[in-house]
Structure 1
């Protein structure tokens, strides 16, 4: 495969190539419009182009009954609704957990049940259901507990709940072991014994909860429950589903794309009081995009579980009171600023420790705040191009770790294997992210285990790394009309990448550093037309240094994502850079 524009080694040291599927089929759709090419190059089949061009819930949603235990879970929930039982919803403290819990609470509320939320404290209780918490909920009157975004590995806790006794329904998406914990029902597309439902293993937990809600409503409809009351409008909850899906970095393929596409439409109407307050606190004056879910709204929900009160996200998403919503949203915004400061301190230390030639970066520090280690792991992964695990060790010598992976490396599976080898107190996750608890003395052996298990696969994954492009344009072609046309192929995210274009050749007219190490540049093409480019967090990288130090006569090709410049006084586009290459 020949490199695009002859770039075999860019400023960041990588070749430029056409997006793989597009390159393989280029002769087959060279005459197609740009959006069709984008869809085909991301795996859509020609016969499904219309379905992918306008992804709908009807077009992608499976029959919920294909999942193991789904009907059993729906029947038990329907029994609880009809009997007016006391139900508790036990969630996780991240965005997927908060949105999953909120969705179940709102659905049950519409069905006449005011479920009690329970979100564990990250620092005091850790991840997942504890037996003590489940038994306490039962003692306080709950006859049914639904765990969301957690529970697939909670063997001891669920055994204690079973002995209490209290019925527990587990709704999760994390990797499962060969054996399953005891539960009334365990709905998880990543169960090892899952068959038809395994095709939906990319769903976030909130997506699985939506399917359970659909199964519940269908069950109650069959029982005649809605003869005297209105059915819940599940479509109105898609804003919450979209937020959890994007924030959990789930693959935006199939049903997930439909969730996000339709959820953004619901969110634009600002029906959810809490989300409307959060949008205002995030200073978004337009309808949110998928990018906003991941970088503006999601981090603020997360801030509650990371450095504040764990239940703030669920309270925000389920409140009926606009005043309370405004107060919580403002508090989450403040906590997000606090989180940024803590994160910066930990990141600086972690980056210094991560220097070296290991394929898996495993770093640990005493006193690090466990609420920011996942974000720091993501930053390390982005900078180094290798999986990273960051571990915060407390005063008792217990480490809480969070990891982020690169495409092609199943980090969650490796963490489960380390647990099976006795190296971890607890651990689990999915391909791209994992969490763990470990004794500080075992961290070196754990790092060696991961290196031995994954080093070869990481070398292959990194060796195949190339910057994939969808189009090459003159600088003047990067304009609002282009951005608008590209958005038709969205929503974009993990597994459905945002279009990347190359623009040039250009010379740098001026460049400076703004904000937290971002490089802003104004470039001009041979026709004199100028373009604004942004290279985020790049001031100390080869890309940032090239822009800042480019001689006036040297020309560059720029590669990145075309975006609307929100700060411009008139409609304008800018290029968010991923890389650059010298034109000569």
Structure 2
């Protein structure tokens, strides 16, 4: 796929030069920092040395005092408390965090996860009735509830109070809960607005600890869950989130909870989970190796840990993921992780098979007419993976995509968008054909009558064709700065590495070099390339790894000049570490 490079503007050079001198880094690194709002020595100190003492007081959040007062009252009155969370990673980690903490100090607490297919997203009537019928007097909703006005009113009518903990944008009317904790409330002065749902749950427990005098050190043990939620929910890794993610990753790399440890071992795939259960010595060796490696990053959560936690909620019931996350015994966790791993394997099969069918349908459609959009419907596609399939289709056919399937005699689907195109607004223009829809700029969900699918497909195409421009038709690669190859050394890399954790709001730096050519080119597994690049006037010839670039072999072999975009990474093989350039794109003259 051809990328459009968007090279960031140079930061103010006086600021760059001053910062470069003050913290003793080269101008390229100083430019990266200034573009990340690091302008002074103190900014740099705060950036490179995240400090848990600098996270905000939870009582700055609107309604926090009311939430804590009601929670303490429930415990004093020995009322039953339900911790209610959604079925995705953010929801299940939120429940594991709040329920896991409260259940250690209070016996009358339980958790509830709605069924994706019977109850749908968020607070459900079934969940509210279950709480009332089973004697719960307080529900703490996590990662959901901010728009559950009718459900919260129903709970109040049935004698159940609500504390809503959410991070989504509220509507004009807030639910009639005892307390509504959401930093995105217009009347909330909390300084940081981008917490994950699990992050809001963490602030609730932080406030409870401060108010009741419980051991504050226990909070650190919750941060592995917060880091997983931050990574999987793709919230910005800036400000308070960056501090929480930093210490959460530290926890994941040094002493993760057994459930996450089991998922990390599953993600590595070097030993079967059953083998580790049966061989204690082997398990101990693997656990020691994990501690010595200390290589878990945000990307590992996104691609290895998160999808495994998500799998239960996509295909079966997310309760299994919560039980795994709160497990306190590694052998029990390995057994539960094995079940989750089986579900994740089934999810992958659904994903691959449906993606293959979808791509075949798009290719057939292209023969008849080239479209600006993709809207596909098939009644037997699995509802739990259609969002993933939409993303996969965009990887191959870069355009706004909606994948629909049949559920409860309706067509229901997931929408995904391309860079800077607002798919939610486009869907809104088709609202006359929909029963319901919701979402944001890049992702949405929708439901319609089966009879409306064809009309929706045509209207959505018309709306998008009218709105879309040339800048939306190619994926964008954001490039930070030009880098001379002689700058690629361990001093440079070690400072670069300290700029993590990387993610939205703080992406891993991408550099470019112009007018280079390749030498010593090798093809790996018929798909990938390994080569050295040469730049006139530069002594260093770094090794490049280019996944999926095998089709460029002949052009590279011809010594044709090209521009290259890359990340600087460390590769360790047989206990020897070297720096390599991870190729993002190549543009020939």
Q: Same fold (TM over 0.5)?
A: yes
1:525 is matched with 534
8 Å CA contact 2:93–2:226 kept in 1: the answer is yes
Paired position in structure 2 for 1:293: 301
* Cα shift readout 1:114-133 (whole Å, capped 9, x = no counterpart): 53121122233322221122
Decide whether aligned partners of structure 1 residues 457 and 437 sit closer, same or farther in structure 2, where only a CA change above 3 A counts.
same
SS at match of 1:196: coil
Query: C-alpha displacement at 1:478, in angstroms?
Result: 4.7
Deviations 1:320-366 (A, max 9, x none): 22222111222223332322221122223334555676655443332
Q: What is the deviation of 1:554?
A: 1.9
- 1:272 matched to 2:262: no
Q: Deviations over 1:216-251 (max 9, x none)?
A: 223x33xxxx4xx64562122111101001111111
CA contact (8 A) 1:75 1:216 kept: no
1:491 is aligned to 501
Report what 1:507 is aligned to.
518
Of 549, 560, 563 in structure 2, the residue corresponding to residue 557 of structure 1 is 563
Spell out, residue by residue over 1:364-410, the C-alpha distance to the aligned partner (whole angstroms, 9 max, x if none). Answer: 3321112212222333444555443333323x432332333455455
Residue-by-residue CA offset, 1:72-100 (whole Å, 9 max, x unaligned): 22221121223332111121111111111
Alpha-carbon distance in 1 for matches of 2:303, 2:148: 31
Instruction: For 2:29 and 2:109, locate their aligned partners in 1 and report how far apart those are by CA, in whole Å.
Output: 44
CA gap of 1:91–1:458, structure 2 versus 1, over 3 A, is: farther
Secondary structure of 2:37 counterpart:
coil
CA distance in 2, matches of 1:550, 1:240: 45
Superposed, 1:345-360 pairs within 5 Å as: 345-353=353-361
Comparing 565-574 and 180-189, the one that deviates more: 565-574
Corresponding residue for 1:132?
A: 126
Distance 1:506 1:453 in 2: 44
Q: Is the 8 A contact 2:2 2:475 kept in 1?
A: no
1:29 matched residue in structure 2? 16
Partners of 1:407 and 1:257 in 2: CA distance: 24
Name the SS of the counterpart of 2:117 in structure 1: coil
For residues 11-410 of structure 1, the aligned pairs below 5 Å read 12=2, 14-15=4-5, 17=7, 19-20=8-9, 23-26=10-13, 28-30=15-17, 32=20, 33=25, 34-46=28-40, 48-59=43-54, 61-113=55-107, 115-191=109-185, 193-197=186-190, 200-218=192-210, 220-221=211-212, 226=213, 230=215, 233-283=218-268, 285=290, 286-287=293-294, 288-353=296-361, 361-394=374-407, 396-406=408-418, 408-409=420-421
Gaps of 5+ in 2: 270-289
CA contact (8 A) 1:131 1:156 kept: no
CA–CA separation in structure 2 for the residues paired with 1:389 and 1:271:
37
Q: In structure 1, how many angstroms separate the alpha carbons of the residues matched to 2:140 and 2:92?
A: 13
CA contact (8 A) 2:15 2:39 kept: no
- CA–CA distance in 1 between the matches of 2:5 and 2:216? 54
The separation in 1 between residues aligned to 2:373 and 2:177, in whole angstroms, is 35
Q: Is the 8 A contact 1:65 1:215 kept in 2?
A: yes
CA RMSD, 1 decimal: 3.2
CA apart distance, 1:169:
1.8
Alpha-carbon distance in 1 for matches of 2:520, 2:51: 45
**Is the CA contact (8 Å cut-off) linking 2:5 and 2:479 kept in structure 1?**
no
Shift of the alpha carbon at 1:260? 0.8
Shift of 1:102: 0.8
Structure 1, unpaired ranges of 5+: 1-10
How far has the Cα of 1:105 moved from its partner?
A: 0.8
Q: Please give the alpha-carbon distance, in whole angstroms, between the structure 2 residues aligned to 1:150 and 1:35.
A: 40
Distance 1:387 1:57, change over 3 A: farther
Question: In the superposition, relative to structure 1, how do residues 326 and 548 fare at CA in structure 2: closer, same or farther (>3 Å)?
Answer: farther
Aligned to 2:279: none
* CA displacement at 1:454 relative to structure 2: 6.7
Give CA deviations for 1:109-152 in whole Å, capped at 9, x if unaligned: 24324531211222333222211222112211211111211222
In structure 1, the partner of 2:586 is 580
